[in-house]
Amino acid sequence: MLSKDILHKVKQVEIQTRRIVNDVFSGEYRSIFKGKGMSFSEVREYQPGDDVRMIDWNVTARNNKPFIKIMEEERELTVYFLVDVSASGHVGSTERFKSELAAELCAVLAFSAIKNGDKVGLINFTSDVEKYLAPRKGKKYAMQVIRDVLFGEYEGKGTRIEKALEFLSRVAHKRSIVFLLSDFYDTDFDHALKAVSNKHDLIMVHIVDPLDKALPNVGLFSCYDAESGEKMIIDTSLKNVRDTYAQRYNERTRKLEIMCRKNKTDLIHIDTDTSYIKPLNRFFKTRGKRQYR
């Protein structure tokens, strides 16, 4: 049974993200994620201004007046969320953890998908795949995705993105939209990334806490690696210590960006201490412009 606190939190996320979907991203999702093509729906009598190329000559001949074909977009798509639920997602320096931001982003995108009649599926992973929800439609299922990202209890602590991508390749038989959400402390998945991006529409969402980028100058700092469990004491007053830490983040990020460019994969950077609306909106608009070139 889910506690009242968990249900309340999930409901809060639903209310907040549904408002964003309706007010900010209305139409954006549908405009950039197209259906599989056009299919015949029905015929109707020709009206001035209709495209003459759509005239159905067989029906026109039987009725002695022009009729045109009405085509509909084959809309239904499948959207997968691959969510890094490793221990580093529950460490942070702002009001919300990376795991909470991941849940909100999944909610926004899931409700956008559900609103457009698409299916959503979930693969939560650490160093192995922890949870798999096969793609389905409906608000109730979208709420389950949010619950499992926010409150799922998992055995693994580390991160192996390669495992999640390989699992996706086994279960997703048709071309799908795939959102991979992680802080990307693991960047050794180039081969698996290439295989998935060749078949699916893959979008990488890099979720970053300020503490991932830089250490504050607070003197001796007792900390531990959430994924390995290693404990250490760092003297953050030393500039070379802070510089080395920041350099490692920059190197990981550069490696990630190079991998994405090489595999023609979209990459969105989103910080826990700022609104995700602007970077997500920028992605939608940039993607939309690119499609119409």
Per residue in 191-244, pLDDT (tens digit) is: 999 999 999 999 999 999 999 999 889 898 777 676 777 788 888 899 999 999
Please tell me whether residues 46 and 123 are part of one structural domain: no
In terms of DSSP bridges, do strands 220-224 and 231-235 run parallel, antiparallel, or are they unpaired? antiparallel
- Of 3-17, 41-55, 145-159, where does mean pLDDT reach its minimum? 3-17
Please tell me whether residues 49 and 162 are part of one structural domain: no
Calculate mean pLDDT across residues 245-264: 95
Please tell me whether residues 226 and 206 are part of one structural domain: yes
Calculate mean pLDDT across residues 118-146: 92
Please tell me whether residues 87 and 67 are part of one structural domain: no
Q: Which helix (H) or strand (E) holds 18?
A: helix 4-23
List the end-to-end C-alpha distance of the chain, in Å, as a whole number.
Answer: 51
Task: Kindly tell me if the per-residue pLDDT of 29 is higher than 90.
Answer: no
Calculate mean pLDDT across residues 168-185: 95
Question: Between vectors from CA 125 to CA 244 and to CA 266, what angle results, nearest 5°?
Answer: 65
Calculate mean pLDDT across residues 125-142: 92
pLDDT classification of 292: cutoffs 50, 70, 90: very low
Task: Kindly tell me if the per-residue pLDDT of 280 is higher than 60.
Answer: yes
- The tens digit of pLDDT for each residue in 48-101 reads 878 888 888 898 898 999 988 876 555 578 999 999 999 888 877 888 899 999
Please tell me whether residues 102 and 44 are part of one structural domain: no
What CATH number did the domain enclosing 185 receive? 3.40.50.410
How many angstroms separate the CA atoms of 67 and 41, rounded? Answer: 13
Please tell me whether residues 53 and 91 are part of one structural domain: no
Beta strands in 46-139 (DSSP E): 67-73, 78-84, 119-125, 129-136
Please tell me whether residues 152 and 231 are part of one structural domain: yes
- What per-residue confidence (pLDDT) applies to 208? 96
- Of 30-44, 110-124, 207-221, where does mean pLDDT reach its minimum? 30-44
One-letter amino acid at 128 equals: D
Please tell me whether residues 257 and 171 are part of one structural domain: yes
Please tell me whether residues 20 and 118 are part of one structural domain: yes
For a pLDDT cut of 70, what percent of the chain falls above it?
91
Beta bridge partners of 129: 125
Average predicted confidence (pLDDT) for the chain: 87
For a pLDDT cut of 90, what percent of the chain falls above it?
49
Task: Kindly tell me if the per-residue pLDDT of 38 is higher than 80.
Answer: no
Task: Kindly tell me if the per-residue pLDDT of 5 is higher than 90.
Answer: no
pLDDT classification of 1: cutoffs 50, 70, 90: very low
- The tens digit of pLDDT for each residue in 151-172 reads 888 888 889 999 999 999 999 9
Residue 244 has, within 13 A of its CA and on its CB side, a CA count of 8
Domain that holds residue 90: 4-31+76-291
Calculate mean pLDDT across residues 42-52: 82
- What per-residue confidence (pLDDT) applies to 291? 59
Task: Kindly tell me if the per-residue pLDDT of 34 is higher than 80.
Answer: no
In the 3-class helix/strand/coil scheme, how is 179-234 assigned residue by residue?
Answer: EEEECCCCCCCHHHHHHHHHHCEEEEEEEECHHHHCCCCCCEEEEECCCCCCEEEE
Domain ends where: 20, 47, 73? 73
Please tell me whether residues 19 and 123 are part of one structural domain: yes
- What per-residue confidence (pLDDT) applies to 90? 85
Nearest to 204 by CA among 183, 218, 230, 174: 183
The tally of domains found in the chain comes to 2
Please tell me whether residues 271 and 147 are part of one structural domain: yes
Please tell me whether residues 46 and 171 are part of one structural domain: no
